[in-house]
Structure 1
Amino acid sequence: MTYLRTHILKASSIIMLVLFLLGCATYNERITLYYQNVHAGNYKQAEKTLDGNSLIKKPRNRLLYLIEKGRVSHLNGQYDVSNRYFNEADQLLDQGLGGAADGAVGVFVNSMSQTYKGEDFEKFMIHYYKALNYVYLNKTEDAIVEARRITLQAQQQTDKFNNKDNRYSNDAFSLTLQGMLYESVSDINNAFIAYRNAAEVYLKAPDQTWYGITIPLTLQQDVIRTARLNGFNTEAEEFERKFGITYSQPSPSEGGELVVFWENGLAPVKTQADMLFTLVRQSNGDLFFTDVGGGIIIPFNYGGDRGRVNTKAVESLHIAYPKYIAQNPYFTGGSVSVNGQQLSLVKTEDINELAFKTLQQRALQEMGKILSRQAVKKMAEYSVRQAATSNGKTNGWLEGLGYGLQLYNALSEKADTRNWQTLPAYIAYARIPLNMGENKVDITLRNAQGVEEIKTITVQGNGRLQFYNYATLK
């Protein structure tokens, strides 16, 4: 009978192995067909593929589903539909994602099985696309509401990190966009405040470089120009000193201006990196994890009696940790020209840099959670295995349970490889004057070999600030 029980449990473990192997692919691998369609510009087919994907339709991935649907609808020119998805995503974020039960999943299973809560920079990008959608739908008031929401998002980030360790506690690009939105409705006072706040993000950063971006000259000029328009001449002069420039504002163009946003490439994808750690007890009884090379040391945050932790149970721990892989865009630079004037497209938001750096910033905290989870699992496994062979006898049920726990611990370890993968690798922009009436605008893009591709659009100059975003997904 004991023989039968043991083998039933072992057979169950084999079934568990098969199930886990079926689910061991990364998020990117599970949505590859959708991703390929977006990459190829087949947006309608991409939507169908997304709707038919069982992984992204799971309740825990609802936020990912909504923002991907919002993005692909925007790419397809369905701006109203796009904002329906983004608004629902916003509502989910406002209500809060997760909870006690979700936290327990993270403790006993893995973070990939938890509700996806979004990266901080992804939340700012929702506002970017929503604002542009409203602008294209001629819903100016809604676009301004979205501009105000950027301030609320920035405040939440500041409260979250309190500017500690130069963490991502604000988004300079979103604040720049906010200034442009205010300026588009002639709210010059709020435009100046937004531009000033964006500039301060750069000025306070080490080497005045914010996540791979040096402050664009256009932003410097916007701060000084709007300061003077508001009569803040002293502040205008102060910023000229800070920037090291002297700015003479040209006469306003009668047709207004066009801001071109170039969304180049695709965001990095996440894969899984496997790492080995050892639990070590110090002479004072404190416990910490260290990797094979000894370069990473992480305290063991154990809620129980540390003195009773059997380090033999967790001599060696394997963890799966997410790792970004950048996708190099086909195009490497570009410019915008109209009416004989040409301006370079200047990088203003580097999603690649943000993804890598923000993951790095929370690495020790995330590794600590994963290691603690694995240690608790290993201690439970060790206890069952010891009990199965106590008093010189073998308990078949406990032996089988120990075998199952060992297999479960090994196979349930999985990194969270989810992210908003159809975001651009980076965004560059140019602000160019227009004539009244029809303007033919050339967007010239170049690859590393100097091969050029030109996109020509027609814009009606109306004396105001207008927007156009162009995505290249190669």
Structure 2
Amino acid sequence: MKRLFAPALFLLLAACAASYTSMMTPVIGDLNRGMPEQAIADLKHSFSDSTGDDRLLYLMELGNLARYSGQYGLASSILLAADRLSDVQRGTDLGQQAEAMLTSDLALEFRGADYEKVFINYALAASYAAEGNIEDAVVEARRVNEKLLEFNDRYGDNPNRYTDDAFIRYFMGILYEMDGDLDDALISYRLALAAYDSVYSKDYGFSSPERLRSDAMRLADAIGYQSLLDTYSSRWPDTGYRHLPSGSGEIVAVVELGTIAPREERDYTVVADDRVYRLALPVLPDFSRRTIQGSISAGGVSSDLFLVQDMNGIARENLLDQAGRNVIRAAARLTVKAGVAELGESIAEEFTDDENVSSGIGLVLSIFGAATEQADMRSWLTLPGQIHMTRMTLPAGTWPVTVNIDGFSRQHTPVQVRDGEITLLFIREDAFCGYRRVH
């Protein structure tokens, strides 16, 4: 009987080796080296079946990589397909649930976390806006609002920690402002303020940026909401605002930093009474949030970057929300697998009347159950780890732009600033690829 423990160990190691995280390692490596086109090739090579239960995940990764490579039309079509697929993923597949109880949650169709579903629409809006298509970008902004309302209605009195997205609310407000809809822009800014100063302050450790407060005050003044402006002025006496001077425009830079941390597997394996028992759970290690010093410079003006989104914090809190359910499912699966091993041993003993054979079959079944036990580490890994932003006013014209992050700088393509308009600029930090140190 002891000779069977060697293959048991081999199977367990093999089960641990093949994970979504390891499969995506070359993709993330090339992305962080500033090679999104090669990352796309890596992704297509790694996904042997892009039409199966992981199709949504494949579309999200591929669409985001296309966006990072500047293929905005392709990105939009892929991300639209992802959004539509996510919308129709409803109900429970009993066959998948049964298979998951006998193997692992990897047998289940990937449906994505709430924050991932919302980020599909951000990525879509960013792709449209990068091409100057503000009308369709605004449509995606409204889709975000619909999704957040749906999520909160679904959970009722037991909401997840991800109940709102302050950054995307802020970004929505900017899109509305670009579209000339100041009322909806102000509503979005106010919703962003509320989310930053409640959910984000409590769960992610940072509150509303000074610039967002200034933007809300500026629009309240522009629209003529004097009582709201008075409230804000009393709440933030040190916060000022200014309207866009004649002959000037604004650059809004959205800077996506790094990639989101991958999940890790925490497993517990016990060998007892000629049985192998294994329980595996997904975790996100707790680590300090990266702090950066960054700015955008153009036309003799420099504006500091400020934190607007901590994707790592959101992903970690989301997984903590699921932790109780994950433990219950894993424990139930362990019980089912133990029952299968016992049943197999009983049937074998009845047919063979040989205790050694029946015990061996029970052990083999328990080895199979342990080997198939894997934590579900699937998540959208091409998401940024953090997002920073800045807003700067410049005279109308075309200006070279310099991105400065932690003492390194990179020249960006010159940006055209139009009188009275906002120009959106999307920047991804590729692990300092193409940056030079500032002395």
Same-fold call, TM > 0.5?
yes
Deviations 1:304-332 (Å, cap 9, x if unpaired)?
A: xxxxxxxx999995311112258999983
**SS of equivalent residue, structure 1 residue 52:** helix
Structure 2 counterpart of 1:263: 256
* Change in 2 beyond 3 A, CA 1:15/1:372: closer
Hey, what does 1:121 align to over in structure 2?
115
1:227 is aligned to 220
Secondary structure, aligned partner of 1:60 = coil
Aligned partners of 1:58, 1:405: CA distance in 2, in Å? 31
Q: 2:144 aligns with which of 150, 156, 170?
A: 150
Structure-2 separation of matches of 1:401 and 1:459: 69
Question: Given residue 131 of structure 1, which amino acid in structure 2 is its aligned partner?
Answer: A
Distance in 1 (CA, whole Å) between partners of 2:15 and 2:332 is 26
* 8 Å contact kept, 2:249–2:417: yes
1 CA distance for matches of 2:186 and 2:234? 17
State the distance in 2 between where 1:59 and 1:66 align. 11
Which residue in the other structure is 1:344 paired with? 304
Q: Is the alpha carbon distance of 1:55 and 1:320 closer, same or farther for their aligned partners in structure 2, counting shifts above 3 Å?
A: farther
Query: What is the CA–CA distance in structure 2 between the aligned matches of 1:276 and 1:23, rounded to whole Å?
Result: 12
Going from structure 1 to structure 2, the CA distance change for 1:161 and 1:321 (only over 3 Å counts) comes to same
Aligned pair partner of 1:452 in 381, 386, 408: 408
Seen in structure 2, the aligned counterparts of structure 1 residues 68 and 56 have a Cα distance that, compared at 3 Å, is farther
- Which one of 26, 30, 33 corresponds to residue 37 of structure 1? 30
Query: Equivalent residue for 2:434?
Result: none
Alpha-carbon deviations, 1:255-308, whole Å to 9, x = none? 32111011111110122111369xxxxxxxxxxxxxxxxxxxxxxxxxxxxxxx
What corresponds to 1:468 in structure 2? Answer: 425
Please state if 1:241 is matched with 2:198. no
- Displacement of 1:225 after TM fit? 1.6
Q: How does 1:17-416 map to 2 (within 5 A)?
A: 21=14, 24-55=17-48, 57=50, 59-96=52-89, 99-162=93-156, 164=158, 167-205=161-199, 208-209=201-202, 211-243=204-236, 245-252=238-245, 254-275=247-268, 318-325=278-285, 332-386=292-346, 388-389=348-349, 393-394=353-354, 398-399=358-359, 401-416=361-376
Separation in 2 of the partners of 1:239 and 1:421? 38
Q: Does residue 427 of the first structure (1) align with residue 384 of the second (2)?
A: no
Mapped contact 2:256–2:388 kept (Cα < 8 A): yes
User: After the TM superposition, which of the residue ranges 17-26 and 70-79 deviates more from structure 2?
Assistant: 17-26
Structure 2: any 5+ residue segments left out of the alignment? Answer: 432-439
CA distance in 2, matches of 1:259, 1:407: 56
| Structure 1 residues 166 and 61: CA distance shift in structure 2, 3 A | closer
Alpha-carbon distance between aligned partners in 2 of 1:15 and 1:391, rounded to the nearest angstrom? 25
Could you tell me how far 1:86 is from its partner in structure 2? 0.3
Shift of 1:464: 0.7
Residue segments in structure 1 that go unaligned for 5+ positions in a row: 1-5, 278-311
Give per-residue Cα distances to partners, 1:203-260, cap 9 Å, x unaligned. Answer: 3338x45523321111111222212222211122223334454434345353321110
- Offset at residue 361 of structure 1 (A): 2.0
- 1:282 match: none
Cα shift at 1:358? 1.3
- Which of these two proteins has the greater Rg computed from alpha carbons? 1
Task: Tell whether the 8 Å contact from 2:349 to 2:357 is kept in structure 1 after alignment.
Answer: no
CA contact (8 A) 1:336 1:343 kept: yes
CA RMSD, Structure 1 to Structure 2 (Å): 3.3
Q: What CA deviation, in whole Å up to 9, does each residue of 1:155-208 have, x standing for no partner?
A: 1222233474771111111111111110001100110111111111123338x4
Aligned residues of 1:264 and 1:331 also touching (Cα < 8 A): no
Deviations 1:126-182 (A, max 9, x none): 112111111122322211111110101211222233474771111111111111110
Amino acid at match of 2:245: P
For the residue of structure 2 that corresponds to 1:263, the secondary structure is strand
Q: 2:206 & 2:157 partners in 1: Cα distance?
A: 18
Q: CA deviation at 1:440?
A: 2.6
Distance 1:205 1:19 in 2: 40
Structure 2 partner of 1:291:
none
- Name the SS for the 1:432 alignment partner: strand
> Aligned pair in 2 of structure 1 residues 102, 253: CA closer, same or farther (>3 Å)?
farther
Q: State the distance in 2 between where 1:346 and 1:55 align.
A: 40
- Aligned counterparts of 1:392 and 1:103: Cα–Cα separation in 2: 33
> Residues 314 and 375 of structure 1 are in contact (CA less than 8 Å); yes or no, is this contact kept in structure 2?
no
1:441 aligns with 2:401: yes
Distance across 2 between alignment mates of 1:317 and 1:416: 18
Q: Provide the rounded CA distance (Å) in 2 between the counterparts of 1:113 and 1:35.
A: 24
Structure 2 CA distance for partners of 1:318 and 1:59, relative to 1, 3 Å: same
Do the aligned partners of residues 320 and 243 (structure 1) sit closer, same or farther apart at CA in structure 2, a change above 3 Å counting? Answer: farther
What SS is found at the alignment partner of 1:59? coil
